[in-house]
A and B are shown apart, each in its own frame.
Chain A
């Protein structure tokens, strides 16, 4: 089945450590996205990538970094510079044909203590 996988489902880290969240898709989509979701909040865009080896900052990129070396993979690193990293992180990819809906992974809940 085609889809998006995110691993792990739950992630725990100590403050001051960098952590990388995985996102893989087998939908052959060019565009991929990372969102952050806090309790009772909507989705806020962290980074997006329209094509391999290219990515753009979203609305809340500070303290995060990404890479896009392969079409199917778009890992997100939460660095120690991110002041409030505890959140639910969602990865998405976007279809290449109209109407271009986004497809979401199951999410990773990151807890930093």
Chain B
């Protein structure tokens, strides 16, 4: 079945620490892939996207993501987390007929 999974429901990191949020997809081909961020009570904002070419993509707010075809993954990373990064993060994929979101990972940041 076509799906997007985010194995971590909630992650807590200290401010200044590095961050990696995991995302895996299930699809017969390489989909278009996206990461969105949602602050409480707000809409979703696009952080970055991948559709072809360089497998390491840069986004806004200092985020980057790496596409790994062999692992069907598109993990989001940030080298140094800021308190303002605390939010919900959604991985999403355009799987042809369907645009599918993962369940989300909530990020908490400790001072």
Residues on A close to B: CB < 8 A? Answer: 4, 6, 33, 40-43, 88, 90, 92, 94, 98-107, 109
Number of interface residues of B (CB under 8 A): 21
Please report the number of residue pairs spanning A and B whose Cβ atoms sit closer than 8 angstroms: 50
B41 touches A109 (CB 8 A): yes
Closest to A33 in B: B99
CB distance from B32 to the nearest CB of A (A): 4
Closest to B99 in A: A102
Identify 13 new A-B residue pairs, CB closer than 8 A, beyond the known A43-B90, A104-B36, A107-B41. Answer: A4-B43, A33-B99, A40-B106, A42-B102, A99-B51, A99-B94, A100-B32, A101-B46, A101-B49, A101-B94, A102-B99, A104-B44, A105-B43
Residues on B close to A: CB < 8 A? Answer: 32, 34, 36, 41-46, 49-51, 90, 92, 94, 99, 101-104, 106
Q: Which 4 A-B pairs have the closest CB atoms?
A: A99-B51, A104-B43, A99-B32, A42-B103
